[in-house]
Amino acid sequence: MIPYGRQEITQNDIDVVTQVLKSDFLTQGTVVPEFEKIVADYCDAKYGVATNSATSALHIACLALGLKEGDYLWTSPITFVASANCGVYCGATVDFVDIDSETYNLSPQVLEEKLIQAEIDGKLPKIVIPVHFAGQSCEMEKIHKLSNKYGFKIVEDASHAIGGKYKSSLIGNCQYSDITVFSFHPVKIITTGEGGMAVTNSKSLADKMSLLRSHGVTRDVHMMTHEPDGDWYYQQLDLGYNYRMTDIQAALGASQMERIDQYIGKRHSIAKRYSEELDGYPINSQLQSDDTFSAYHLYVIRVKELQHNRIFSLLRDNGIGVNLHYIPIYRQPYYEKFGYHINNYPNSEKYYSQAITLPIYPKLTNEEQSKVISILQSLL
C-alpha cells in the first residue's frame, strides 16, 4: 500500500537520537531548548515552546491567551478535531467559520460577516484559529485587520505548514498573530515522532506556555511568591500539564530541520507533477494563492460527488492509501450535540462530498507516483 504520507528517518537522525540515549538526560536536558531555538530562528520568531504534541501546544496557547468558560473560540470546520478541542478544554464555546471554496482555508469574507452579527449578539470570539490547510497559509493580513477591529486574538494552526510562506515570509514569524503552532507528527513536514511547538514574539506568552507545559511548576526564583526554602525548592504557580517534549524527540527534530527545505522542494516537485499530468481530467485541486508558498503537507483533489465513493474505494483496492482530510468537525458525534447546522457551512459540505487526498511525501518514488496517476486517470 502506498500511504498518503510517511516520515523519512536517516542515519544521522538515528545517530543523534543514540547520542541522547547515551547522555545523562533523556527528557529536559539541553537538546529541547536547542531545538526550540532552531525552529524559532528558522521562522524568524523570538521564542519557541516545544510540547509533546501540537494538540498540547494549541491548548496551552489558548490558556496563555486567557481563554475560559464563557468565551468563544472560532476555527475552520475542515481540520483535525484538535483545532476545536483546545477551546473545549478551556471551557469555551466553539463555533466554525466556513471555508473558501477554492483555497479550502477559513474564509475571511465569511469571518467578517459572522463577526458583524456576533457583535450585534454580544458573542464575539476571544480567539480565532485560522488553519493553514494542506500547508498553504490563510489570508492572514485580512484576518489580522479584523482582529484589530473586533478585538480577538489569533492562534495560527500551522500544523501542516512549517516551511511554507505568506507574503514571502516564513509561516511562524507571528507578524499577523499572537502565537503559531506546528505539528511534528510522522506524516507532517518534519517529525519528532510525536511533538509540537508554539512560537511567539511575546516573552510573557512564551513564559506562560513554558510554565503550563510543565505542571505550572517553576524553579525560577524571580517567578516565586516568596524566598525559596532551600536549593531544592520549587513552586506550582498555576494548574499546568505534563506536556513536555523529551530530548530524544528534540534531537530527532533538530536533525530533521537540517533537511526541511529539501523536503519542501520534493513535495513541490510531486505536486507539480500531479497538477501537470491530471490537467484536463474532471477534477479540481486547491487554488494556490499568489501570496503564499505552500509546504504541501497534503495534495487534495476534488471529484464529482457521484464518483467520490467509487473512486476512493477503487484507489484503495489498487494499493493506493488515499485519505480524506477532513470530516467537518461539526459532523462528529461529540460536536453534533452542540446543535450546529450544516446549512451554515455550504462550502465545507461540498468539499467533504468531493475530496480525496493523494500520496505526497519526500520518499514517494517516481514509479509510485506514476502508479497513482495512471490508476486515477483510468478511473476518471
Last residue of a domain, one of 257, 289, 305: 257
Nearest CA among 256, 61, 96 for reference residue 174: 61
Cβ atoms of 66 and 286 within 8 Å: the answer is: no
Same domain, 202 and 115: yes
User: What would the grid cell of residue 98 be?
Assistant: 466556513
d(CA 12, CA 356): 34
Last residue of a domain, one of 239, 257, 275: 257
Q: Measured between alpha carbons, how far is residue 311 from residues 299, 318, 358, 375 in Å?
A: 16, 11, 12, 10
Q: Concatenate the DSSP letters of all residues of 343-358 into one string.
A: GG-HHHHHHHTTEEEE
Same domain, 281 and 246: no
Average pLDDT, the chain: 97
Helix axes 366-379, 305-317, angle to 10 degrees: 140
Task: Render pLDDT for 280-311 as a digit per residue (tens, 0 to 9).
Answer: 999 999 999 999 999 999 999 999 999 999 99
User: What would the grid cell of residue 212 be?
Assistant: 503550563
Q: In the chain, how many domains are there? A: 2
- The whole domain housing 170 covers 2-257
CATH number (domain holding residue 138)? 3.40.640.10
Percent of the chain at pLDDT above 90?
A: 97
User: What would the grid cell of residue 211 be?
Assistant: 510554565
* Residue 66 clears pLDDT 90, i.e. is over it: yes
Cβ atoms of 368 and 2 within 8 Å: the answer is: yes
End-to-end alpha-carbon separation of the chain, Å? 21
Same domain, 229 and 143: yes
Question: CB-based contacts of 206: which residues, under 8 Å, 6+ apart?
Answer: 46, 47, 48, 49, 200
* Residue 92 clears pLDDT 90, i.e. is over it: yes
- Residue 75: phi and psi, rounded to 5, are -150, -175
Same domain, 128 and 139: yes
> pLDDT grade, residue 28 (50/70/90)?
confident
Last residue of a domain, one of 257, 281, 305: 257
> Which residue has cell 513552586?
235
Same domain, 265 and 252: no
Same domain, 111 and 223: yes
Nearest CA among 189, 186, 156 for reference residue 172: 156
d(CA 131, CA 96): 12
* Residue 25 clears pLDDT 90, i.e. is over it: no
d(CA 126, CA 147): 10
CATH number (domain holding residue 302)? 3.90.1150.10
Cis status, amide bond into 326, omega within 30 of 0 = yes
Cα-Cα-Cα-Cα torsion 32, 35, 36, 40, nearest 10 degrees, comes to 180
Cβ atoms of 163 and 264 within 8 Å: the answer is: yes
What is residue 27's predicted lDDT score, i.e. its pLDDT? 86
Question: CB-based contacts of 190: which residues, under 8 Å, 6+ apart?
Answer: 162, 184, 253, 256, 257, 259, 260, 263
Same domain, 36 and 178: yes
Max intra-chain CA distance, the chain: 74
What is residue 307's predicted lDDT score, i.e. its pLDDT? 95
What is residue 142's predicted lDDT score, i.e. its pLDDT? 98
> Which residue has cell 463577526?
115
Same domain, 266 and 245: no
Same domain, 243 and 375: no
Same domain, 192 and 341: no
> Which residue has cell 476555527?
75
Nearest CA among 6, 72, 11 for reference residue 255: 11
Task: Render pLDDT for 239-282 as a digit per residue (tens, 0 to 9).
Answer: 999 999 999 999 999 999 999 999 999 999 999 999 999 999 99
Side by side, the strands of the sheet bearing 292-293 are 169-170, 165-166, 292-293
Same domain, 220 and 265: no
Exposed, middle or buried: residue 336 (CB in 10 Å: 0-12, 13-18, 19+)?
Answer: exposed
Question: CB-based contacts of 339: which residues, under 8 Å, 6+ apart?
Answer: none
Task: Render pLDDT for 98-118 as a digit per residue (tens, 0 to 9).
Answer: 999 999 999 999 999 999 999
Q: What average pLDDT score do residues 140-151 get?
A: 98
Same domain, 235 and 333: no
